Amino acid sequence: MKVLVAVKRVVDYNVKVRVKADNSGVDLANVKMSMNPFCEIAVEEAVRLKEKGVATEIVAVSVGPTAAQEQLRTALALGADRAILVESNDELNSLAVAKALKAIVDKEQPQLVILGKQAIDSDNNQTGQMLAALSGYAQGTFASKVEVAGDKVNVTREIDGGLQTVALNLPAIVTTDLRLNEPRYASLPNIMKAKKKPLDVVTPDALGVSTASTVKTVKVEAPAARSAGVKVKSVAELVEKLKNEAKVI
């Protein structure tokens, strides 16, 4: 079966971002960008399904700026067969991204679509669920185990109290949680080979997708800083401070 994987270009997870002085957003100039960690897990899962003989073709798709081609090349180096970039240099909200992905799903007709559970920049945790709603497919969010069995996929999900397993009819949408797998690294020969794999670029307009949004960002601020703490010398001093100064125990 065909598997579609969505990947997002985001600021690298190790970077401590700074808010711009004019409060219009965070400063992303000259900051290292990478594939969103949850998307790496999604690509890895698709590649493992192919290695098991379940998936026959993996299509990586990204909705984002021209530079997101780098992340698609990474997905190709990791094992995706071809890639599609829906190019938009505007900052898109989850619903617009889900609509663009829906157009690609309509065209490609994959049996399984794998996304990360959330992007570490916007922290929204929405796109997979929205795509499921728009396409009318079942959704298996926060997956820690995915097993395709015939015309169904069993997804074990990480929920607040533990784990839950659901059986979904295919085609279905799965979003990855951290413990689904450990993504591999791209080898140098595979990075070279990935340069020759097909990468198509389309625009939301060409797909007939509106990227208008009902939500706008008014302001971005730095969070309130915590006042500097003190180092205590002993457990006795710590207990004394917690009891008498902070009064929390």
Q: Does 188 bind other proteins (CB under 8 A)?
A: no
* Interactions with other proteins, residue window 73-132 (CB under 8 A): 93-95, 98, 117-118, 120-132
213 interacts with other proteins by CB under 8 A: yes
Cα(63)–Cα(221) distance, integer angstroms: 26
- The least distance separating other proteins from the CB of residue 98, rounded to whole angstroms, comes to 6
What is the DSSP secondary-structure string of 89-142?
-SPPPHHHHHHHHHHHHHHH--SEEEEES--TTT----HHHHHHHHHT-EEEEE
Q: In whole angstroms, how close is the CB of 39 to other proteins at the nearest point?
A: 13
| 159 belongs to the binding site for other proteins (CB under 8 A) | yes
Q: Which is nearer to other proteins, 132 or 202 (CB)?
A: 132
- Identified binder of other proteins from the candidate list 9, 44, 63, 137, rule CB under 8 A: 137
Residue 85 has phi, psi (to 5 degrees) of: -110, 125
Q: For other proteins, which stretch binds (CB under 8 A), given 50-58, 65-73, 83-91, 171-179?
A: 171-179
Query: Maximum Cα–Cα distance for the chain, whole Å?
Result: 68
What is the footprint of other proteins within residues 25-44 (CB under 8 A)? Answer: 26
